[in-house]
């Protein structure tokens, strides 16, 4: 029976492209906000449209950051040194089960360090497994391996880059007058979260291994990137593009600056790993490990091809966030679940509402800004531990990433797959995660 579940076609093969999904979510959110505001006239339509347009431009910096994560990560993976490491790891994944386990374990393990690192590394490992299987003609289910590379996005918010638990540690955060500062030993490093994270690190890869025994091999799309040297005679200053020493010195300079910045951040007790620090380091390492600037730029050109989805879709989701935030719809959803909560169920309904909001607002920081104040006041009124409520929101926010195509865009660009090819498996990861998180919140953390 288990084999038939994964072998038969699911409704996911009927899904449109991630771009069309983003458009449909935009229209759905628009209608929800329109009716929520209660102004059933042209003024209501106009105000909601303006909310969308206002939010549309609010993630431009983040869009560029994510595009660079993909492009620079791809260029770094094409360097001989990194290629050798990932190729070695990929050789151990010579069956679907083993590949899914290894990639899933690495993705989840890295997610506890940093979500951006987990996302790009998981995608690159999945791609390398596909390249290895294609080269050696190994029969594997490539979409399952790619879904394993995405698995860390259902665990990241309980790790060191978790937006909500890190925000409340910083002096001046918007809820400091109400809750003060909450140190990470009460959230990320609490015994309960460590036990939950350990369980996820073991159970999810084992589940992926089991699925790997149930599925059939698939055709692997063309993955090999062309980065062969140009055979042309460089003249004059153009020789700098092909100079190994010139690129080496510049790469070393960037890496040294990155390390000095990390030292400075550590001394001032600031986050060591951010999107900016990852991109700066990837930029320097890419130049350092490529033969010359020409090789680096051709690798960048290959990576740009996969970044188009990020560039055009992230503004759509920013627009959705604008509607949710400025119309008050996000607050309304949170208030509904809190209104039906008791001391025993507040954290669970927080988990559920955070999961729903993440479908529409796939941003941990943005979601905390919308739900945070309402959640904290409810926790205090019901005498529920504020740190536990913060983590419940974090778990709900991360879990529905397995259903939301927003964060999968970099992975899809790197692996050359379509969204519907990995949703079939990520949806099962969602169900497993839902059971694990539900049992944890209702039984262990209550």
C-alpha dist (Å) from residue 52 to 122, 182, 321: 32, 34, 8
State the helix-helix crossing angle for 364-381 and 329-339, rounded to 10 degrees. Answer: 30
Residues 267, 269, 270, 272, Cα dihedral to 10° = 70
pLDDT tens series, the chain, 446 aa: 445 566 655 555 667 788 888 899 999 999 999 888 887 778 888 999 999 999 998 878 878 887 887 788 878 878 888 888 888 888 999 999 999 999 999 999 999 988 877 888 899 899 999 999 999 999 999 999 999 999 999 999 999 888 888 888 888 888 889 999 898 899 999 999 999 999 999 999 999 999 999 999 999 988 865 555 555 566 667 788 888 899 999 999 999 999 998 888 778 777 666 778 888 988 999 999 999 999 999 889 877 877 787 788 888 988 988 898 888 888 888 888 888 889 999 999 999 999 998 888 777 777 888 888 889 989 999 999 999 999 999 999 999 999 988 888 888 888 989 888 999 899 999 999 999 999 999 987 65
What is the spatial distance between Cα 231 and Cα 87, in angstroms, rounded to a whole number? 27
Listed residue (214, 209, 204) closest to 109, CA to CA:
204
C-alpha dist (Å) from residue 272 to 263, 264, 265, 347: 8, 9, 6, 30
pLDDT of residue 1: 42
Q: Are 73 and 124 in contact (CB under 8 A)?
A: yes
Q: Are 372 and 165 in contact (CB under 8 A)?
A: no
């Amino acid at each position: 029976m288990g084999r038939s579940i994964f072998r038969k076609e699911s409704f996911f093969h009927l899904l449109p492209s991630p771009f069309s999904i983003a458009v449909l979510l935009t229209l759905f959110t628009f209608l929800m906000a329109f009716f929520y505001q209660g102004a059933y006239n042209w003024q209501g339509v106009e105000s909601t449209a303006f909310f969308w347009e206002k939010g549309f431009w609010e993630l431009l910096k983040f869009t560029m950051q994510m595009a660079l994560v993909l492009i620079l990560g791809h260029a770094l993976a094409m360097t001989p040194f990194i290629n050798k490491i990932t190729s070695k790891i990929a050789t151990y994944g010579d069956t679907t089960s083993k590949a899914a386990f290894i990639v899933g374990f690495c993705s989840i393990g890295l997610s506890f360090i940093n979500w951006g690192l987990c996302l790009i590394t998981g995608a690159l490992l999945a791609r390398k497994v596909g390249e290895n299987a294609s080269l050696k003609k190994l029969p594997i289910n490539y979409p399952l391996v790619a879904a394993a590379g995405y698995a860390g996005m259902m665990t990241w918010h309980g790790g060191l880059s978790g937006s909500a638990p890190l925000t409340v540690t910083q002096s001046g955060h918007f809820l400091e007058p109400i809750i003060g500062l909450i140190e990470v030993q009460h959230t990320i490093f609490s015994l309960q979260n460590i036990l939950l994270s350990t369980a996820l690190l073991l159970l999810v890869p084992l589940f992926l291994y089991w699925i790997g025994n149930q599925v059939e091999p698939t055709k692997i799309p063309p993955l090999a990137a062309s980065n062969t040297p140009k055979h042309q005679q460089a003249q004059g200053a153009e020789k700098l593009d092909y100079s190994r020493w010139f690129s080496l010195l510049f790469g070393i300079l960037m890496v040294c600056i990155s390390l000095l910045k990390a030292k400075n951040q550590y001394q001032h007790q600031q986050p060591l790993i951010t999107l900016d620090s990852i991109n700066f380091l990837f930029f320097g390492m890419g130049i350092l490990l490529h033969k010359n600037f020409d090789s680096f730029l051709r690798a960048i050109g290959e990576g740009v091809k996969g970044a188009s989805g990020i560039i055009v879709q992230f503004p759509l989701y920013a627009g959705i966030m604008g509607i949710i935030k400025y119309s008050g719809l996000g607050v309304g959803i949170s208030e509904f679940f809190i209104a039906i909560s008791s001391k025993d169920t507040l954290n669970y309904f927080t988990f559920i509402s955070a999961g729903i909001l993440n479908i529409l607002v796939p941003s941990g920081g943005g979601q905390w800004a919308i739900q945070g104040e309402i959640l904290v006041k409810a926790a205090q009124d019901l005498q529920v531990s504020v740190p536990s409520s913060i983590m419940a929101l974090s778990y709900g926010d991360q879990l529905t990433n397995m259903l939301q195509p927003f964060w999968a865009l970099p992975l899809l660009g790197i692996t050359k797959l379509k969204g519907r090819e990995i949703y079939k498996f990520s949806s099962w990861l969602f169900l497993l995660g839902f059971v694990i998180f539900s049992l944890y919140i209702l039984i262990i953390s209550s």
